[in-house]
Structure 1
Amino acid sequence: PASTHGTSSIPLAPAPDAPVWDVSNFSLVDGHLVLVSRDEEASCRSRNRTGSSISESSNLHPAGGRRDPDPAADERSTRGAGRSTESEISATSQLSNVKGLLWKRLRDRKGRGVPKTDMPAVTVPDGERVPSRSGSRESLLPPPSAAELDLTGDNVIVRPVHGSIVGEKFCFQIITGEGSRSFGCTSLAERDRWIENLRRTVQPNKDNCERLELALSLWVYEARDLPPRRRLRCHLHLDGTLFARTTAKVAGPDGELFWGELFQLAALPPARALTLALCRDDHPGQPVASITVPLAELAAARQPLERWYPLSGPGGGERVPSVRVRGRYREVRVLPIVRYKELAEFITFHYRELCARLEPTIAVRHKEELAGALVRVLQSTGKAKSFLIDLGVAELDRFDDREALIFRENTLATKAIDE
């Protein structure tokens, strides 16, 4: 909504040294986020920040945009707004062990066993939070105004914060007319639950309003012709505000440097330009070189745009530094939920015919996006498990005599189950 971006005097991204509050010490009460912990000093902590080495950016892997496995990401907190709702529980039960069920059907059909590997579960004692990856936590006395945040006013923004900025994964930020506060969670699921609950508190009729959702997906691959043996980061700015940064690495003697990091920035404020700035780790405020890319250029391409961008710097020189990135900027206009009712009903009752018609006609690069969308729609209608089983059984029938290809080809079934 346009009203969520009116606090221009408040920074849209927290400073790298901003304190991060432990969200488990807060509770959402009557439109206010209230500190309920007795030990107020321990509720706010300062971390040993190590840049994006513990950020949410993914290193370069063939799997693309998948996050690295993290035991904390599977933790389901039961405190505060982290309490699971009935819809979350049903969604988990819908999607549990679908692939295992399909393999069992194949074993029953073949009359012979198929080796199965059980992944060890990571258990966390009830009531304990997974320790932060960012090292020690020093106590920091919180200002009195931070003990309670009023979310009932105008122009309240709730948005995720990239880990490379605050020095810890799974954080979000609340911006009000009085200031900005950052909060840390133990898992991605817990952070998403808090953000959703807070946004519904700020805008109770969120599902009935048309809104524009903005997101940037950017691979920062490498740079060349850099000052040799300098420890550098690549900073990502949107209209002058720092939103993420790469790990600090030392350029080689030939001036080449490789990062291979993926940044998924969602719930962005309206912006016009992306600036990529190479900065020394010891002087982050003085860019060595930079380039500004209009976001309209990244939004116009139907597929992520990849290219080398020459950088301009204050010093000049014979060799012009350049950086290779691959990015896509998306502007998605979300209509009121009632407008999607007929589409949801059609998908729920006709997904078999829909997939059968689309499977042979769409390109492989579109199948993952389509499969993910179908899973999310059917998860909301309670049909996700039936959908996955039906696609999986059809996959078993097609490759009945070629087991090596089952769930290994670029089919809608494989993409949907992986989702």
Structure 2
Amino acid sequence: MAARRQIRLGLSMRYLGYHAAAWRHPLADPGAASNYRHFLYIAQAAEAAKFDMVFLADGIGIRTKDEPPGALCRSHQTAELEPLTLLSALAPMTSRIGLVSTASTTYNEPFHIARKWASLDHISGGRAGWNIVTSWSQAEAWNFNRDEHLDYETRYDRAAEFVEVVKGLWDSWEADAMLHDKESGLFFNPDRLHVLNHKGTHFKVRGPLSVKRTPQGRPILVQAGASEQGLEIAARSAEVVYSASHDVDSARDYYQNLKSRLAKHGRDWDHMKIMPGITLFIGRTEAEAREKYDLLNALVAPEIGLSYLYGQLGDLRGHDLDGPVPDPPGGPVKSIAKNLLALARKDNLTIRQLYTTIAAGFGGRILVGTPEQIVDDMEAWVEAGAADGFNICPPVLPLGLDEFVELVMPELRRRGMFRTEYEGATLRENLGVPMPPNRHTTARGA
């Protein structure tokens, strides 16, 4: 019998978990998101379980709004550590797990990103990854000398050029550039150092980068967008894509759409790993899993719950929270609002039930069940061609990670779906994606 396909696993470790009430869980430390030891435990536990990577999403501003009033002060999506600083501190305390974080192409410069992530790749011995985002919120614009954030087309046009500049800077040094020849006095071979001299629509960057070629050739590139522009950036450059599909059919369509674009960029189908996000409520029985889900949902303050609906359905404070979800007032209904209403009507949800459904995973996909049921679902997605693995977003950290390792990981391994040891020392090796060639080395025919 053919061996089952091995999956890839990432762990999202932002905030205190992906449930809106995570900080109120009886076993949670409300201040942990600002505590290095909290993240050290998570990274080392994930590495012991052989996860491919830990991942820190990021926004460079407090995006949560005080809508309705009283929501902001009840949200744990407000205070956190800067991710690259944190990952640099975790790097020497780990040895195999990938270290991935977000950085904006809107509020950084390419040289910044190229230099910092190349440095992290060296510090970690080849385990760095950059999640490419464009930034979308007004809160971030206000922190960077703007009254309004850049329009959609400009943001993505800038992002596409930004990524190409960063990749060019990472190719500044060929792999054999460093001679360190004390006798001749040559520190490096001048023929192996290259000036980029990029002049484009958004950037003028001379280079070269002041960090030598990294252990992975370049850090792993990660992308999460579903827009046409985002898909093209991913197809051209990303080795990992985080997707947000809620059902297997749409996930399969997304998977096929994105992977079918790889060939035109000279890339193989398996050189990109698509990993849908999922928040898991795990129990030894279905009843136990449901109890964990219900416990957290009961801790969602109405102000927080209603904040997840405010932008689409308006201020619902005047309605009975245990009554039906009303149609939004006036004007055409936006697509997100239509989806929320369709969900509420299909399952006959009250306002409270709708907002807890969204709050349970920050709007992402959730699963409530036993280890066997959860792995059945994962396996079905992989076999359907909808995923290469999953980005696990625990509802509460570190509790959800510990439960996943104790209950779900043995079932994955029993079915031969996940490794027992790392394949290599770098994130690139463990993901099974190739080392990118240096463009200048390739041009020389070497």
TM bracket (short chain)? under 0.3
Which one has the bigger helix percentage? 2
Which one has the bigger strand percentage? 1
The higher-RCO structure (CA 8 Å, 6+ apart) is 2
